[in-house]
């Protein structure tokens, strides 16, 4: 083989390696416009929802005397954000894309001091604008980047360039350790680290109510994903195992995810849905479930819901943090 041919093959190899390394940077502009995505004009109304008078983009559903879902039925993502009230404090779990300001909706429902906490750092959950109090999960790989409690998200964590949204820098007022409780006054929310969709995904567990807010870890809109930057199928499986174990014997458990389906019903999943997710992940790992497409690959579970992943040779099944680590 001539020396020139060897050099050409080496260069092609290097380009391929770089393309695989930067695959998400190459993919995102193909699937997002780089500017705000238009609202859905023919969205189904939210069952039981009350459109917010000043901004009918939002629809409010009262789930119990101290828990509200603030849905965005006209958004492409059909986000559902949750306002969780205690006697002394309120917590907003997710804030949507932020093209519409959720803060007046929250102010119309409570005058308690408000803390914002994202279920994870994707831009369709972090909203836009300032928050007086922001709580963020205390994870080694996140905390080490914050100086003076200022945290700037990375491109791969946020992905807001898909709609032309700049990376936020937060003044974190509360670092919440996994397995510790956020006290709202007469109401406790235990923070569980539930990675897999991203490596910063968390769920909030109201043990007394047998209620868990799960972000994009578990939602019943029919599609989950573990293929964007920082996603890891091994983390997803570990999270499913953990939440199944923590909720054993809790037959009333309801999981409230962050995206509604086309009917715009407020998400409500149950332990059997979580079991289906866990069984499906194991089947993917063991090669017993075949996906459709080449990149990304879409796997269909037995209940018809889907899991979007990278192809098998890029799937990482070792969890980021071992089971015994303090984050678990
Ligand atoms: Zn997400
Ligand atoms: Zn999401």
Over the stretch 177-235, which tens digit does the pLDDT of each residue have?
Answer: 999 999 999 999 999 999 999 999 999 999 999 999 999 999 888 899 999 999 999 99
What CATH number is attached to the domain comprising 93? 3.60.15.10
State the chain's mean pLDDT as an integer: 95
Q: Are the CB atoms for 276 and 305 separated by under 8 Å?
A: yes
Using 70 as the pLDDT threshold, list the residues of the chain that sit under it: 1
Asked if the structure places residue 299 within a domain, the reply is yes
Ligand 1 centre distance from Cα of residue 92 (Å): 17
Tell me which residues have their CB within 5 A of the ion that is ligand 1: 122, 216
pLDDT at position 285, please? 98
Ligand 2 centre distance from Cα of residue 258 (Å): 6
pLDDT at position 1, please? 67
Ligand 2 centre distance from Cα of residue 6 (Å): 45
Ligand 2 centre distance from Cα of residue 202 (Å): 12
Asked if the structure places residue 7 within a domain, the reply is no
Distances (CA, A) of 220 to 224, 230, 245, 310: 9, 22, 20, 21
Asked if the structure places residue 227 within a domain, the reply is yes
Angle made by CA atoms 142, 146, 152, in degrees to the nearest 5 = 85
β-sheet bridge partners, residue 169: 152
Q: Starting at the earlier edge strand, list the strands of the sheet with 59-64.
A: 50-51, 59-64, 67-71, 80-85, 90-93, 114-117
Q: Which domain holds residue 33?
A: 27-314
Indicate the number of domains in the chain: 1
pLDDT at position 24, please? 84
Asked if the structure places residue 1 within a domain, the reply is no
pLDDT at position 33, please? 86
Angle at which helix 233-246 crosses helix 271-285, to 10 degrees, equals: 150
The dihedral built from the CA positions of residue 93, 95, 325 and 169, taken in this order, carries a sign that is: negative
Closest CA to 120 of 85, 91, 93: 93
């Amino acid at each position: 083989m001539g020396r020139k041919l060897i050099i050409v093959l080496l260069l092609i190899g290097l380009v391929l390696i770089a393309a695989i390394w930067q695959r998400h940077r190459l993919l995102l502009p193909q699937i997002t416009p780089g500017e705000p995505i238009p609202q859905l004009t023919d969205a189904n109304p939210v069952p039981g929802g009350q459109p917010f008078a000043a901004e009918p983009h939002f629809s409010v559903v009262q789930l119990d005397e101290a828990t509200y879902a603030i849905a965005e039925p006209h958004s492409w993502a059909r986000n559902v954000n949750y306002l969780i009230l205690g006697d002394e404090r309120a917590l907003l779990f997710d804030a949507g894309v932020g093209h519409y300001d959720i803060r007046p909706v929250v102010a119309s429902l409570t005058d308690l001091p408000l803390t914002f906490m994202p279920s994870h750092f994707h831009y369709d959950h972090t909203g836009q604008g300032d928050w007086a109090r922001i709580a963020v999960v205390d994870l080694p790989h996140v905390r080490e980047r914050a100086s003076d409690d200022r945290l700037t998200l990375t491109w791969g964590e946020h992905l807001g360039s898909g709609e032309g949204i700049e990376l936020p820098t937060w003044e974190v007022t509360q670092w919440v350790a996994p397995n510790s409780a956020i006290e709202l006054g007469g109401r406790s929310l235990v923070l569980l680290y539930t990675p897999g969709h991203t490596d910063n995904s968390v769920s909030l567990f109201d043990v007394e109510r047998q209620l868990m807010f799960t972000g994009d870890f578990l939602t019943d809109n029919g599609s989950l994903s573990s293929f964007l930057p920082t996603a890891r199928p091994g983390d997803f499986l570990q999270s499913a195992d953990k939440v199944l174990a923590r909720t054993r014997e809790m037959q009333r458990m309801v999981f409230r995810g962050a995206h509604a389906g086309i009917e715009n019903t407020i998400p409500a999943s149950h332990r059997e849905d979580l079991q289906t997710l866990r069984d499906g992940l194991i089947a993917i790992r063991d090669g017993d479930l075949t996906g459709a497409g080449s990149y990304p690959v879409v796997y269909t579970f037995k209940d018809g819901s889907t899991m979007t992943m990278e192809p098998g040779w890029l799937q990482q099944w070792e969890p980021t943090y071992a089971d015994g680590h303090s984050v678990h």
